[in-house]
Structure 1
């Protein structure tokens, strides 16, 4: 099962048997609206706080996935999830309401694929029958924690990104039908000395490149093996840097097959600076858009590389640089 130092090969090929994807009003006006299961028409989601709104996003996504699979909450062995808020309260408070045994993770915006990798490993080892894997984020909640409340009206540079208000989950099982999880490569933490919290894409790009190169080196798969390779939320700045790094390393990845979730989710006229970001970015695009394309036969093999900046408000205030990580999961029909 372990291949090389960082890669798991799943011989039982766990399947993503259903998914749930929920978004806010800005995502409803975006480029991938048809791939969401549910939208809310305001960012409060009828809650008293943005933090409670994010919890509702995640709970709704889980309930949709469970209903699609024809299951009940009591059928699910584990719920594995992460988010951006302090002590991952969106995930843990959602687990409180779902009453499903819970494993909380924090990989920042890489949490979606970290959860899918861990869930697939458990199912592959017959340690669970059904696991919900996913992640969430909320634009206003993340802005309040990491930057300034939206009411402050602070200006942002072009390198900044727009946190997705959304949640995406998938149910992984050895039973049923669906796209198969065939491999996962767990990334190393890489810190290039960047300390600007408005340049997440530039900080995360080296970690994404390292994980992608490691994945191909350890799986021995040819560079044209996948129909599509997607990073999580590098945005325009990070995506450009990643492409340049592949060329610098003489790593001849087919760049026409390389995309970024942060560049796919919104329309150009939505003015999201460098692109989308947040745990909900790769989660909604993967469990919605990519899986739908696979089910339509447009894609057969994809590699999703969710990227995360592992800073906190406290580390930034203490003038720390930004360590980053990327986790890759291979999904095949």
Structure 2
């Protein structure tokens, strides 16, 4: 049922299982112990190219999500997946052999939230289980959007480090089908984002391009639900990084709200200052792995009861930037609650 911009699943829908696969840098970070699978050697995952490595991460992540539930591949009726590569080949190739009806997504770094949103809505409407997978690989993304790693280009202070990681989620209406211990995590409602373009043209400052859209979604949600930051344990964005998070807080404050006491960002959580990733993490895999491995685990433990997850994306490609176009941003909201 839709109320203004908010959509509630027709049935109660739960995140039954989740899994996260990461590279060596992500494993070295502060959340390393939470991730399910890692490549501690060279981020190739045994493949011959970075693009194939990303596909392998998606395969491993979805297999991990199946392992965390009593669900088989035949039980899942819909698979939503995306990545940063042209035509979403990371997903297309990585998930080819699962035999699940597949819908490819491109929401840039908002793909994880978009996938969870769509999977939850279709599961609620049909009663069938659905899965969402999202990934990025630092080397494949750098090759496509900037320069190959061998080029050795310098990074600006506002730039973010594309996460090597893949996160998978399985949703459904029967919470007893999970193997995870603790509380159940339900998708209470969702709010699709509205694209906004504030004239940012700097490919090295994605946070500034995405922050206005994140603010717009949060403010619309507050107004439509008559709530504020005090009603939530955590408002987590992904991935605005350091630059974008500061801009977001300013935008929200200018409209009479203050979320600083409950806000955090996936791009700030995945690395620490010592790792020197400049403005933090980014990429389709960033919020996917932080949510799949860390935030959902805290909700299952009862550390968070009421969470707003706003996945943010910069909707551009290098061709349009070279033509002088600015960068639109988007922010999709998923409202999660933990229940006994």
TM-score with structure 1 setting the length:
0.97
Q: Tell me, in whole angstroms, the C-alpha distance in 2 between the residues paired with 1:314 and 1:66.
A: 38
SS in 2 for 1:90: helix
- Residues 234-283 of structure 1: per-residue CA shift (max 9 Å, x gap): 11110011111111121233x11100110001121111010000001111
- Aligned partner of 1:157 in structure 2 is 156
Higher deviation after alignment, 49-58 or 172-181: 172-181
- Residues 264-311 of structure 1: per-residue CA shift (max 9 Å, x gap): 011211110100000011111111100010111111111110000001
1:132 aligns with 2:106: no
Q: Give the Å deviation of 1:220.
A: 2.7
Q: Tell me, in whole angstroms, the C-alpha distance in 1 between the residues paired with 2:86 and 2:265.
A: 26
- Aligned partner of 1:85 in structure 2 is 85
1:76 aligns with 2:76: yes
Matches within 5 A, 1:1-333: 1-4=1-4, 6-10=5-9, 12-41=11-40, 42-125=42-125, 127-177=126-176, 178-253=184-259, 255-333=260-338
Q: Give the Å deviation of 1:78.
A: 1.1
Q: Tell me, in whole angstroms, the C-alpha distance in 2 between the residues paired with 1:245 and 1:295.
A: 32
- Residues 167-201 of structure 1: per-residue CA shift (max 9 Å, x gap): 01110000124300001110100000011100000
Q: Tell me, in whole angstroms, the C-alpha distance in 2 between the residues paired with 1:169 and 1:301.
A: 21
Q: Which runs of 4+ in 1 moved over 3 A?
A: none
Q: Tell me, in whole angstroms, the C-alpha distance in 1 between the residues paired with 2:238 and 2:305.
A: 19
Query: 2:229 touches 2:262 (CA, 8 Å); kept in 1?
Result: no
Unpaired stretches in structure 2, ≥5 consecutive residues: 177-183
Query: 1:77 touches 1:128 (CA, 8 Å); kept in 2?
Result: no
Equivalenced residue count is 330
TM-score with structure 2 setting the length:
0.95
